[in-house]
Amino acid sequence: MTFSQLANQVFDRSVADYHTTDNVDTPIRNPYEGDVEKVLYAKNWIDAVQWHLEDIIRDPAIDPVEALALKRRIDRSNQDRTDMVEELDSYFLQKYAGVKVLPEAVINTESPAWAIDRLSILALKIWHMQEQASRADADEEHRARCRARLDVLLEQRVDLSQAIDTLLGDIAAGRRYMKVYRQMKMYNDPSTNPVLYGAAGK
C-alpha cells in the first residue's frame, strides 16, 4: 500500500465516522494505534469539525455573540490543524533522515504534509459533493452539476495522490529533499500580535 492509499483510507474512515453524528461537539474516538495513522485520523477529524463550523458561522441569522465564539473556535482549530501538519512533517523528516541527498537534488515547493493536508480536505469535498449529487430535495440540474464536480474532485484526488507518492519516492531516493518551515502565525501569538500585546499592556 502506498502512503497516499493509506492516507485516503484513513481520511475516508474519519469522514464517515464524523457523519454518523454530524455534530461538531462529538468527541473524537480514534480507532488507530499506529503513530502515523493516528495522526492522519486526528488531522482529518479536525478538518471535518472545522468544515461544519464554517457552515454554521455563515448562517445569516446567527447571533453575533455566538458568531464571535465560533470565530474564536475556528481560530483555535486552524492552529491545531497547522500543528498537526507540522507533526506529520516531523515524521517524514525523521523517516528520511538517513537518506543520502544527491548533488542534483532539488527542494519541493511544499512539504509532504501540506500536500497531505490538501488530500484530507479533498476527502471532505468528495463526501459532501456526493451528498449533493444524490439530494432527493434538489432538482436534477443541481444533482447533475454536482455529479460533474464530483468527477473533477475524484480525478483531482488521483492526481494529488500520485504526486504525493512520487514526492515521497523522490525524497526516499535522494532526488528531492525537504525542509520544514514552521508557520509562525503571528496573529495567534500574544507576543507578536499588536492587538494582544497592546491589550496586555493597558
Identify the residue whose cell numbers are 468528495: 126
Task: Give the tens place of pLDDT for each residue, 52-83.
Answer: 999 999 999 999 999 999 999 999 999 999 99
Task: Give the tens place of pLDDT for each residue, 16-29.
Answer: 999 999 999 999 99
Task: Give the tens place of pLDDT for each residue, 123-176.
Answer: 999 999 999 999 999 999 999 999 999 999 999 999 999 999 999 999 999 999
pTM confidence score: 0.90
Measured CA to CA, the distance from residue 117 to residue 95 in angstroms comes to 18
pLDDT, residue 25, reads 97
Measured CA to CA, the distance from residue 121 to residue 127 in angstroms comes to 10
